[in-house]
Amino acid sequence: MDPRAVKSNPLKVKEMEGDTLTPISIFHRLSGKRKFLLESSLKHEKSGRYSFIGSDPYLELKAVGGECEIHRIQEGVRCTQKLTIIDAIHQHLSSFDRSLPFPFYGGGVGYIGYDAIRQYENIGGTPADDMEMPDAHLMFYEQVVVMDHQLQKIYLVFLDLSGNGTEEQMAKKLHQMEEDLKTPSKQEFSREIANTSSFHSTIKKAVFEEKVKKAQEHIKRGDIFQVVLSQRLQAEFKGSPFSFYRKLRRTNPSPYMFYIDFDDYLVLGASPESLVSVKGEHVLTNPIAGTRRRGMTEEEDQQLEKDLLSDEKELAEHRMLVDLGRNDLGRVCEIGSVELTKFLTVERYKHVMHIVSEVKGKLRKNVSRLDALLSCLPAGTVSGAPKIRAMQIINELEVSKRGVYAGAVGYINVTGEFDFALAIRTMVIKANTAYVQAGAGIVLDSVPQNEYEETIHKAKALLEVKG
């Protein structure tokens, strides 16, 4: 598509009362294929005020290696170009500048996986691609339902990004969306079965522990301070993936919750952590490290917070990640603009509490918004420090591509503004198999068996969701 063709995009927005609908009921009622739902457990002004639901994308981008497949879905046309995923995305953004109160009203939804960084950094040869998934996969939507939880309003949005819509066609699309939302779906009230069989790891315990020891040898030599080693678990999946997602959101409410149907596979998850977001000229990243369970009483909760903030190992790891975040933003932001706006703050979730900090900066004039995404990918939380050397060691020790895990999941608005979560606590369902990957931060005094058990515990928490 010629980027000049989308410089002035016709937009239609229709408002509805939203006090009788939920993101789940909207998802069920909205007709179409390749549906997505992006939502948050935090229903307040700063985080989670809006939920986004969409269907029937007009375009998809798939990046593998140094090539990108561009699929114009409605026309049934595919082509492959020598392009990075970021260059491909830029071709489908717009100078559209109508001010709307919500941050996403059309554009790309999907993931940019850990392995997409290979297009930009030399981290070694490409390992086995056993899951056969793109390094990055984004679907572009013209029709989006926006739910404003604060005002209890619903906005039906149609933005003619493909350039093929007439006024009559756009009005018809909005009318169809409105009729969809007025009509209850049987699925809303069903209790479909959704579960996984017993899981198994793709690596033996002794082999993983040996890799931990090899990582510690690198630390002893001074190559790195820390590295995050991961393993993948898989299980047979039975039933409805969306029913499974509904159980997940009930039992593990999180700041970033997502369900994306890519047609031949699904990605769903409940991530606690933002990777990076850009609004206007401002870029924001939120390092998270340091965790305790929630207390049974307010008194115990306060004591656990006190213990967390006095744990030198947890604090050292958190400070390291804050430094990485400052360095990441420093590569794309104006000199002197990067600042620590929140430091060592404890945030509470349903089951755990985390130490959270916030780093902000102002983008330089000569960089694009998407350059900020590249600068932060992958997060230090899932790679290590120094980041590039840690990724090279991960490449030596892990036998297969990470795929979605440790990458970014979220949206890119048509204007280029975006919000991406860190792809942890994330499941891929493909060909009736559920895949979950989890990592552990390896330092000099790590106990290999404990690190193995940590990865198993993290992955099981998602594979064995009850509710």
pLDDT digits (tens, 9 = 90+) for 144-191: 999 999 999 999 999 988 777 778 888 889 999 999 999 888 776 666
pLDDT band at 7 (very low <50, low <70, confident <90, very high): very low
Q: Please tell me whether residue 59 adopts helix, strand or coil conformation.
A: strand
Q: Mean pLDDT, to the nearest integer, of 222-243? A: 94
Give the angle 295-255-369 at the CA atoms, nearest 5°.
Answer: 145
pLDDT in tens, 18-43: 889 999 999 999 999 999 999 998 75
239 is an active site residue: no
Q: What is the rounded distance in angstroms from the CA atom of residue 321 to the CA atom of residue 440?
A: 14
Q: Mean pLDDT, to the nearest integer, of 324-345? A: 96
Pick the CATH number of 194-237+278-406+431-463 from 3.40.190.10, 1.10.10.10, 3.60.120.10, 3.40.30.10: 3.60.120.10
Q: What is the rounded distance in angstroms from the CA atom of residue 128 to the CA atom of residue 404?
A: 14
Report yes or no: 425 and 252 within 8 Å, Cβ to Cβ: yes
221 is an active site residue: no
Determine the straight-line distance between the first and last CA of the chain, rounded to whole angstroms. 45
Fold matches, 3-189 and 194-237+278-406+431-463: yes
pLDDT at position 189: 63
pLDDT at position 293: 86
Closest to 436 measured CA to CA, from 402, 467, 407, 388: 402
pLDDT at position 52: 98
Token pair listed for 293:
């369970």
Token pair listed for 329:
């933003």
Q: Phi and psi at residue 443, in whole multiples of 5°?
A: -125, 180
pLDDT at position 98: 67
441 is an active site residue: yes
Which of these is catalytic: 405, 411, 435, 452?
405
pLDDT at position 2: 40
pTM: 0.93
pLDDT at position 188: 65
Closest to 110 measured CA to CA, from 35, 205, 161: 35
Question: What is the CATH superfamily name and number for domain 3-189?
Answer: Anthranilate synthase (3.60.120.10)
Closest to 117 measured CA to CA, from 168, 164, 82, 65: 65
pLDDT at position 97: 65
Q: What is the rounded distance in angstroms from the CA atom of residue 347 to the CA atom of residue 364?
A: 31
Closest to 235 measured CA to CA, from 197, 266, 206, 207: 197
**Residue 280 reports pLDDT greater than 60:** yes
Token pair listed for 456:
């198993």
341 is an active site residue: no
Listed ranges 44-58, 153-167, 342-356, 375-389; the one with the highest mean pLDDT: 375-389
- Complete DSSP assignment for 289-358: EEEEEPPSSHHHHHHHHHHHHT-HHHHHHHHHHHHHHHHHHHTTB-TT--EEEEEEEEEE-SSEEEEEEE
Mean pLDDT, the chain, as a whole number? 90
Q: Which residues pair with 113 in a beta bridge?
A: none
The DSSP secondary-structure symbol of 196 reads E
Report yes or no: 130 and 115 within 8 Å, Cβ to Cβ: no
Which of these is catalytic: 48, 384, 425, 439?
425
Compare 112 and 91 and report the one with higher pLDDT.
Answer: 112
- The secondary structure element, H or E, covering residue 212 is helix 205-220
pLDDT at position 1: 39
Compare 290 and 397 and report the one with higher pLDDT.
Answer: 397
- Complete DSSP assignment for 221-287: TTS-SEEEEEEEEEEEEEE-HHHHHHHHHHHS--SEEEEEE-SS-EEEEEES-EEEEEETTEEEE--
Which of these is catalytic: 285, 381, 426, 455?
381
Give residue for tokens 């060909």.
Answer: 431
405 is an active site residue: yes
Least confident stretch, 38-47, 55-64, 105-114, 151-160: 38-47
Q: Please tell me whether residue 84 adopts helix, strand or coil conformation.
A: coil
Q: Where are the domains of the chain?
A: 3-189, 194-237+278-406+431-463
Q: Which residues pair with 68 in a beta bridge?
A: 63, 81
Report yes or no: 200 and 236 within 8 Å, Cβ to Cβ: no
pLDDT at position 4: 35
Token pair listed for 286:
């939120």
Which of these is catalytic: 49, 249, 354, 369?
354
